[in-house]
Chains A and B, each alone.
Chain A
Amino acid sequence: MNESNRFIEEFCHEAEELLSGVEDAVLDIEENPGDQEAVNRLFRAMHTIKGSGSMFGFDAIAEFSHHVETAMDKVRNGTVPVTKTLIDLILVSRDRITAMLAEANGDGPPADPREGEKIIASLKALLSSHGAAAPDENPPKETPEQASEPAKPVQQNQAVYRIRFSPDPDIFFTGMDPVILLYDLADMGECSVVAQTEKVPDLENLSPESCYLFWDIILTTAKRINAVKDVFVFVEDKCKIDIKTVEEEVITSEQMPGPRLGDILVERGDIDRKTLDKQFGTRKKIGERLVESGALSKEKIKSALNEQTVVSKMHKSAAASTVRVPSDRLDKLINLVGELVINQARLTQVASNREDTDLGESVEEIERLTGELRDSVLNIRMMPIGTTFNKFRRLVRDLSSQLNKEIELVTHGAETELDKTVLERLDDPLIHLIRNSLDHGVEPPGLRELKGKPAKGTIILSARHKGTNVVITIQDDGAGLNVDTIRQKAVEKGLIPENAELSDKKIFAQIFAPGFSTAKEVTSISGRGVGMDVVKRTIESLRGRIDIDSVPGEGTKITLILPLTLAIINGLLVSIDDDFFVLPLMSVEECVEIKSKEIEMINGRNILNVRGDMVPYIRLRDRFHMGNRRPEKEHIVITDVNDSRIGFVVDHVIGGHQTVIKPLGPAFKNIKDISGATILGDGTVALILDTNVLLESA
C-alpha cells in the first residue's frame, strides 16, 4: 500500500516535469512550426501521461490526455497544421491537466469537469475541420488475456476441445517457445498432447532453429472456448490454430457408446471415408491397420485414440454405474500387477539380449499391455478429490461464523483424481491447513476494510494434476505470514541461530518445526496441539512435499505436491559399488559429475560449490558404511527438499525408473534412511531412500 503511494507520488512528479516540458515544446513550435522534434516531444509527453495515469488510477487524467495525444498524433503525421488555435488549445489542456493533478493530490480546488469537456469539444472541432476523424468517444477497451481473472467459483460444465496447433516454423524468432503454450493448456484442465512429427525433415535438411513439430491436444476443461483461444493470442496471426469443441458435458439419460476411432479420424480430416472403409473387414483394430497400411502415422492415430478415450470417459461418467469391491481385493490385484510389471521388465531385458524379432515383437506387445493394465488397475483406486473438498465447505461455514469472520471457500479442480489411500490420509492435514487460514490468515471484516480489502475473505482450495503428481493449494487472501515474528520465535526456540541469514521462504519453513506455533493465544480452532509439524510429517509419509509462500498483507499459499499413487513412484536409480538405490525423482534437481579428488579439496566441511551456490552433501557410501572403494568419478544428485538443497554423492547415476514400492516390513521398522524397496528388471533389490529424513540428519 505504501509502495503504490510511492508510485503515485512518482507519477505526479513525473507528470509535472512532462507538463513543464510541454510548455517549452509549445514555445519552440510557435517559433518554428516545422519543428518536428518538438511535436514528437509533445506527443510523447501526452502519451506518457495517459499511459502512466491509467496505470496509477488517474482515469480522468488519462482520458483527457488521450484526446490531446490524438490531436498531437494528427499534427505529427501532418494531417493537422500547427495553428494559433491549436497552440492555445494545447496550453489550455496543459493547465487543465495541471489542475486535475493538483486536485487529485488534494492541494487544489476541484477542477470543473465542464471546462474539460469544452476543451475536448474544441479539439474535436479542430480535428474534424481538417478532415481528421475525431477521436473515439470511448476508445474500445481491449481485454488483454492477462486480465482474465481466476475462474469464478461457478461450477461450470466441462467441455472437451480438440486443438491442432501448428506453429510457424520461425516461431522461435519471436522469442516464443511453443511448449509454454502447451503448459498453459495443461494448466487449464486435463490435457493430453501428441506431437506430430511428420513434417520433420531428414537430418541434412533440418534447421535446428525451425519448429517442424505440430501438436494435437485434447483438453478437458471447465473454461470457455475463448479462454482456450486466448492462450494463443500472441501467436494466432502466424501459427495455424484449430480449436473445436468435441463434446460438452451433458448428462445423457442412457449410456451412450463413445465415438468410433474411424469417425474421429474422418471428422479431423486426417483420412477420407473411402480409405477408411477399405480397412474394414479384417479383424485387427482399425488403428493398427491404418498404420500398417501406411495410410496414417502412428502419432495421428494416437492423438485420435486420446480423444476417443476422453470422450468415452465422459460418456461413462455421465452414466456411471459402480461395483463395490472390498479394498483388500484391490490391494491384492495391485500387488499382482506390480509383480507383473517387474517380471515384464525382466522379460524385456532378456529379450533384448537375444536378437529374435518375433520374440522382440511379442515382448513389446506385452510391455504395452502391462503398462495399460498397470494404469487401469491404479486407476481403480483413483477417486476425485471433490468429495473431500465438499466436507470443507461446511467446516468453513461453521468456523467462520464462530470466529465472526466472513469467509468464502472457493474450490477448483474438484474432479482431480488421486489414490484413495492418499485421499483418506489428506483429510486431517487439509482440515488443519484450512483452519489455520481461517483462524490466523483471514482477518476480521473490520480490519480487512481498514486495509482496503473486501470484508469477505476468500480461501481458494485447488487441485490439479502435474505430471505424475497432484498439486493441491490452499490459498487465502489474509494477513500473510510475518517474517519477523516467525524469525524471532524460531530463534527463541533455538531452531535457528540468531544471526542466521535466511531467505523468507526458509523462515516460513520454520513453522513446520515441531512445537512451533505463533498464535498469540490458543483458540479452539487451531492450536490444539496438532501442529504444522504433524501436517508436514503426514505429507512426507505420503511421499509428498509441502511448500509455503506468503506475501505480507496479501495472504498465504500452501502447496502440497503428492504422488498420484502410493504404489508406484518415479524414481532416479543410482548405484554405489554393486548396490542400487532409488531417489524420489520429485525432489531431484540435477546430477553433477565430480572427481573424487575435487571433493576432497573443497572438503573441510561437506559443502560443494555448484555454480556459486553452496550445497551441503552427504556421501551415501560413508553414511551407509560401504567401504572406501570410491570410483575416480563420483556423481552428486542434487535434490531440493523443503526448499533446502542437498546433494547425495553416489558412484553412478543410472537413470529414471518406474519404481513399484515394496514395504520393508516390521523387521526394518527402526530403519530411518530407507523408506522401502523395489525390484529391478534383473531381479535385484534396490532400496528407496527417504530424502526427507536424510536431509534432517545432514
Chain B
Amino acid sequence: MAKVIMTADDSTSIRQMVSFTLNQAGYDVIEAEDGLDAADKLAGIHVDMLLTDLNMPNKNGLELIEWVRSMPRFKFMPIIMLTTEAETEMKQKGKAAGATGWIVKPFKPEQLLALVKRILR
C-alpha cells in the first residue's frame, strides 16, 4: 500500500511541487495550507510522514510539530522540516519540538525524494 505523506506549506507552488514529486514516486500526498489545516486533516487520517514548512499562518510549523508529537499515534512518525538556510535557530527549535530532520530550500525534487525514501525505507 502506498505510504501517505502530508505536506504542510502556505506556498501553493511548493506544495504542488512536493505533491507532484512524491506522487510520481508512488506516494499518496495530502496537502495542508497551514498548521491549523494540517492539524485538522491529521485528526481523521493515517499519515506515514509529515513534511512541514516552518513559517506558516494560523499555526506555524513549530506549533504543528509539537502538536503532532503530543498525539500518541504520531509519536514515532518522521517529521521533516522545510527550512531556508537562514533559519538555523528555527531548525534547532524544530528539533527540540520533535522534528526528525530537515531539508534546506531551495532543493531539487530528486533531493526531496532521496530524503523521503531514505527515511521511509
Contacts and interface: CB of A to CB of B under 8 A. Distances in A.
A and B touch in the complex (CB under 8 A): yes
A48 interface: yes
Interface string B25-69: 000000000000000000000000000010111000000000001
A232 to B, nearest CB: 11
Contact of B10 (A44, A70, A611): A44
Most chain A CB within 10 A, of B53, B106, B121, is at: B106
A180 interface: yes
A6 B100 CA distance: 31
A146 to B, nearest CB: 4
A7 B107 contact: no
A578 interface: no
Contacts of B57: 40-41, 44
Contacts of A146: 103, 107, 111-112, 114-115
A139 B11 contact: no
B12 A14 contact: yes
Classify chain A: how many residues form its interface, as a range.
Answer: 35 or more
Nearest to A144: B104
Contacts of A48: 10-11, 55
A173 B95 CA distance: 11
Contacts of A66: 86
Interface in B1-26: 1, 10-14, 16-17, 20, 24
A141 interface: yes
Given A44-B56, A51-B84, A174 B99 contact: yes
Contacts of B13: 7, 10-11, 14, 52, 55-56
The main secondary structure of chain B at its interface with chain A is: mixed
B55 A47 contact: yes
A172 interface: yes
B104 A175 contact: no
Interface string A521-565: 000000000000000000000000000000100000000000000
Contacts of B105: 51, 54-55
Nearest to B75: A173
B20 to A, nearest CB: 6
A55 B10 contact: no
B107 A55 contact: yes
Interface residues of B, number: 43
A184 interface: yes
Contacts of A142: 85, 88, 104
Contact of B12 (A10, A174, A234): A10
Contact of B107 (A43, A147, A180, A237): A147
A343 to B, nearest CB: 40
Contacts of A237: 95
A612 B76 CA distance: 26
Interface string B82-121: 1011101000000100111111111100011011001101
Interface string A1-34: 0010011001101100000000000000000000
B11 A175 contact: no
B100 to A, nearest CB: 4
B98 A51 contact: no
Contacts of A183: 121
The dominant DSSP class at the A interface is helix
B78 to A, nearest CB: 4
Interface string A58-85: 0000100010001000000000000000
A50 interface: yes
Most chain B CB within a 10 A radius of its CB, from A14, A56, A233: A14
Contacts of B11: 14, 48, 51-52
Contact of A7 (B1, B17, B84, B101): B17
B37 to A, nearest CB: 15
A140 interface: yes
A174 B97 CA distance: 9
A551 B115 CA distance: 19
A665 to B, nearest CB: 42
A139 B83 CA distance: 14
Task: Choose among A3, A141, A234 the residue with the greatest number of B CB atoms under 10 Å from its CB.
Answer: A234
Contacts of A70: 86
Residue of A44, A139, A175, A551 contacting most chain B CB atoms (<10 Å): A175
A175 B17 contact: no
A133 B95 CA distance: 26
Contacts of A51: 11, 14, 53, 82, 84, 105-106
A66 B99 CA distance: 25
Nearest to A234: B101
Contact of B106 (A43, A54, A140): A54
Q: Which of B11, B12, B57, B119 has the most CB of A within 10 A?
A: B11
Interface in A176-199: 176, 180, 183-184
Contacts of A50: 84
Contacts of A11: 13
Contacts of B106: 51, 54-55, 62
Nearest to A141: B85
A464 B98 CA distance: 34
A31 to B, nearest CB: 20
Contacts of B79: 175
B111 A144 contact: yes
B85 to A, nearest CB: 5
Interface in A108-151: 139-142, 144, 146-147
Contacts of A234: 100-102
Contacts of B12: 10, 13-14
A308 B117 CA distance: 34
Contact of B76 (A140, A173, A180): A173
Nearest to B116: A146
A184 B118 contact: yes
A210 to B, nearest CB: 12
Contact of B1 (A54, A56, A176, A611): A611
Nearest to A9: B13
Given A55-B13, A55-B14, A55-B17, A175 B107 contact: no
Contacts of A3: 20
Contacts of B56: 44
B51 to A, nearest CB: 12
Nearest to B57: A44
B115 to A, nearest CB: 5
A291 to B, nearest CB: 34
Contacts of B102: 144, 234
A43 B82 CA distance: 17
27 contacts: A7-B16, A13-B12, A14-B11, A14-B12, A44-B57, A52-B13, A54-B84, A140-B85, A142-B88, A144-B104, A146-B114, A146-B115, A172-B75, A173-B75, A173-B76, A173-B98, A174-B100, A175-B79, A175-B98, A175-B119, A176-B100, A176-B101, A180-B118, A180-B121, A233-B101, A234-B101, A237-B95
Interface of B: 1, 10-14, 16-17, 20, 24, 53, 55-57, 69, 75-79, 82, 84-86, 88, 95, 98-107, 111-112, 114-115, 118-119, 121
Given A55-B17, A172-B75, 5 more contacts: A7-B20, A10-B16, A51-B14, A183-B121, A551-B24
